[in-house]
Structure 1
Amino acid sequence: MSKTLDQVNVTGLRVLLRADLNVPMHEGKVTDLTRVERLVPTIRELSEKGAKVIVLSHFDRPKGKRVESMSLKPIAEALATVMNKPVAFADDCVGPVAEEAVAKMQNGDILVLENTRFHAGEEENNPEFAAALAKLGDIYVNDAFSASHRAHASVVGIATHLPAFAGRLMQAELHALEQALGTPARPVAAIVAGSKVSTKLDLLANLVAKVDILVIGGAMANTFLAAEGYNVGKSLQEPDLHDTAREIQKAAVVKGCELILPRDVVVAEKFEANAPTKVVKVSEIPSNMMALDVGPATVAAFINRLPEIKTIIWNGPLGAFETKPFDAATNALAQAIALATKEGKIVSVGGGGDTVSALKLAGYHEHMTYLSGAGGAFLEWMEGKVLPGVIALSKDLSNIG
């Protein structure tokens, strides 16, 4: 089990805090502060307890070279604004520039170091680069679950040199995922949707063995319907994965997992905003039309079953949510789950980029028990894979002192 900030006195310590400041940017400005804001509680706690907070992060893919448009400097400025507190910036993350900036710090100060991926040693998990990073701190705190599926130097390598702890965001994420898939209250339902089965094969294979009900939506449901012999018209689907879909259905039967597919869908001739649509049974999809959302009867049937469910995991919108009216099923289900969560009847955990976007658009993201901002790391966790950054936190190297 990972150690947390409750198990260390940080006063006077140089704390290397691995954050995820890989935020959306446009013309040098941060366009979405969500990841910055979610980091604030950990930074504020460390600062108020008298630590010297040294923030490490990657940004984009500079491929081991300095790319000025990928500097963390504007993000450090955004962090200062959000925290309403000075945040210093160092033009490198290792070497004399970083060392000098750290040496100037007083207790409670906050310093952001330059993009770790400006050095090739970051993605290579180079031992010398990891040692150079570790030299700047007394302890290591990982608050970047979203980067913890990467075995990089600032995620894994540092933890081989310094005592390692989970930050508050990491702690909350791990707690939520344990609630959802580790030791959940049952029955557990998983909603998995998206455009392709091929991108979620490992996820589906893991979930049929772990959940009681598996709801499949989005375009990937078309592949399952086609595999059952339905004519899905011009709908997006993967013909070469029909056998795989049938195997997943068989595995679900063996594991005692109820697999739910759409019974009706919203179809249109063209995928465009406010296109003429109609609702049809899955057995009656016209050959010249495509399924672009789950139908109201399917959503209502699942909503009616919510009272029997104790835990829900959600990954992927039910339809092409970015384009109205194909957001209707996602919105209706989000509202019902939000209400059940608010009333304390279920634990609801969602994650993945499109899922977060869909729930935000629907206006119900704040009512989920936990909404993970991690994309790849959240998926890999749900697939049952070991995350290097999480494992690194469970190593007990030495005592501080």
Structure 2
Amino acid sequence: MPIQYIDELNIENARVFIRCDFNVPLKDGHITNDLRIKASIPTIEYAQSKNAKVILASHLGRPKGKIDKTLSLEPIAERLLIYLKREVFFSNDCQAYGNLKLIEQMRPQDVLLFENLRFHPGETNNSHHFALQLSKYADVYVNDAFGAAHRAHASVEALPKLFSEKGGGLLLKKEIQALTALIENRTPPYVVVLGGGKVSDKVSLLRQIIDVADTLLLGGAMAYPFLKAQGFEVGNSKLEEEAVDIAHDLLQEAKKKKIQIILPRDHWVAKRCDVDAEVEKTPSPAIPKGWMGLDIGPKTILQYAQILEKAKTIFWNGPMGIFEVAPFEQGTFAIAEAIANNNGYTVVGGGDSVAAVYKYQLQLKFSHVSTGGGASLEFLQGTPLPGILALEG
């Protein structure tokens, strides 16, 4: 059964529990990127427009069921105040005795944010008892946390099952529609760019891509097992030895299906990953002993940019190198720019690649910038997401 969304639910004057994804990066208690906060503002404002009392909840980091003040949501409450232009009540504990009374005293359009749900072990344990306690605060449940939809956690899976009136938020709706378009309505040539990360983490995605994409461009640590499988040395580059066999099988599979897997032709290499490290360019795909591949080289950038220019549909996940370190950001920037300049349907997903897009201020030139890292990858490979399944029926 298709899920409903907040604009289809009866929320007039109701107490609405919105599960958000405020898992934002913090440095010394300060938010360094508030994309995920801004992304849920339309859902919150829609609930306010219906005179709802709005109860917000989220996780932040991995406190492992214990209070960790460095992972408090208080900075998020302060940022919400700026965007919503009104006071945001903050509860230090989602199980506090006074929460029900506070909600009772709230006026229509008021907003309450609970402290980090993961301060309680019941959240990650998908505890029915923990979910039951949260359910007492609201009449309607809304999930706007696409980035957490792949987690079978209490506020994502157990809680919505306790509500008859439930649905997705406007962000969840936008994410599902944008990613579904990649699966069902893509226009060829469909080019997928994968970088960073481990091959073993993305085997299912790689197999799904080989079934549907026309061309797969690989960079970063994702490329090294494939280069090794083709007989090239990769020096001291980050390499999962067990992934070499997987890469070999995937190359054979792609060949049978006439899908192009394009690998780097050259690299920027160094003996250590540092801003002042000695950097060399390799003349070929091979990386010398004692050196690490830390970015794709200029020949690779040119080849990838030419392929991306002709694409009609593009999905990008994962940087081409260690873009946080200045000497090794050229490849990631060039790929981001090439995709941003494409007039087709372009989607970027994954924390590092999204961070790169924002770093280079290219976010407005993409068709969709996904807030879901693992969730977007699992959705694209056809894995049912617990947070979405729980909204059905």
Q: What corresponds to 1:259 in structure 2?
A: 261
Please report the RMSD computed on the Cα atoms of aligned residues, expressed in angstroms.
2.1
Would the aligned equivalents of 1:89 and 1:112 in 2 still touch at CA under 8 Å? yes
Distance 1:104 1:385, change over 3 A: same
Q: What corresponds to 1:399 in structure 2?
A: none
Q: 2:232 aligns with which of 230, 233, 237?
A: 230
Matches of 2:286 and 2:37, distance apart in 1 = 48
Cα deviation code 1:125-159 (max 9, x no counterpart): 22222122122111111110111111111111121
Cα deviation code 1:37-82 (max 9, x no counterpart): 2221111121122111111112333333444444333422221123
Q: What corresponds to 2:91 in structure 1?
A: 90
Q: What corresponds to 1:45 in structure 2?
A: 46
What residue identity is the alignment partner of 1:360?
Y
Q: What corresponds to 1:147 in structure 2?
A: 148
Which ranges of structure 2 fall in alignment gaps of 5 or more residues? none
- Within 5 Å, give how 1:112-123 maps onto structure 2: 112-123=113-124
Q: What corresponds to 2:132 in structure 1?
A: 131
Q: 2:281 aligns with which of 262, 279, 285?
A: 279
Q: What corresponds to 1:210 in structure 2?
A: 212
Matches of 1:352 and 1:198, distance apart in 2 = 16
Matches of 1:335 and 1:298, distance apart in 2 = 15
What residue identity is the alignment partner of 1:310?
K
Q: What corresponds to 2:385 in structure 1?
A: 387
What residue identity is the alignment partner of 1:86?
E
TM-score, normalised via structure 2 length: 0.92
Which ranges of structure 1 fall in alignment gaps of 5 or more residues? 397-401
What residue identity is the alignment partner of 1:381?
F
Would the aligned equivalents of 1:274 and 1:324 in 2 still touch at CA under 8 Å? no
**CA apart distance, 1:6:** 2.5
**CA apart distance, 1:288:** 4.4
- Within 5 Å, give how 1:281-296 maps onto structure 2: 281-283=283-285, 285-296=287-298
What residue identity is the alignment partner of 1:98?
N
TM-score, normalised via structure 1 length: 0.90
- Aligned residue for 1:15, secondary structure, equals strand
**CA apart distance, 1:220:** 2.5
Matches of 1:283 and 1:331, distance apart in 2 = 20
Would the aligned equivalents of 2:227 and 2:285 in 1 still touch at CA under 8 Å? no
**CA apart distance, 1:320:** 1.9
**CA apart distance, 1:95:** 5.7
Moved more, 182-191 or 143-152: 182-191
Q: What corresponds to 1:367 in structure 2?
A: 365
Would the aligned equivalents of 1:127 and 1:153 in 2 still touch at CA under 8 Å? yes
- Aligned residue for 1:17, secondary structure, equals strand
- Aligned residue for 2:100, secondary structure, equals helix
Cα deviation code 1:220-278 (max 9, x no counterpart): 31221121112333333233332211101111123332111112222334432254434
Distance 1:62 1:231, change over 3 A: closer
Distance 1:264 1:18, change over 3 A: same
What residue identity is the alignment partner of 2:354?
V
Percent identity for Structure 1 against Structure 2: 39
- Aligned residue for 1:329, secondary structure, equals helix
What residue identity is the alignment partner of 1:173?
E
Q: What corresponds to 1:159 in structure 2?
A: 160
Matches of 1:264 and 1:274, distance apart in 2 = 21
Matches of 2:242 and 2:62, distance apart in 1 = 33
Matches of 1:323 and 1:69, distance apart in 2 = 26
How many residue pairs match? The answer is: 391
Would the aligned equivalents of 1:88 and 1:110 in 2 still touch at CA under 8 Å? yes
The answer to whether the aligner puts 1:242 opposite 2:240 as a matched pair is: no
Matches of 1:27 and 1:274, distance apart in 2 = 26
- Aligned residue for 1:281, secondary structure, equals coil
Cα deviation code 1:156-205 (max 9, x no counterpart): 11211212211111111111111223432222111111153233223222
Matches of 1:61 and 1:284, distance apart in 2 = 39
Would the aligned equivalents of 2:296 and 2:320 in 1 still touch at CA under 8 Å? yes
Moved more, 214-223 or 310-319: 214-223
- Aligned residue for 1:117, secondary structure, equals helix
Matches of 1:246 and 1:7, distance apart in 2 = 48
Moved over 6 A (4+): none
Would the aligned equivalents of 2:216 and 2:261 in 1 still touch at CA under 8 Å? yes
**CA apart distance, 1:16:** 0.6
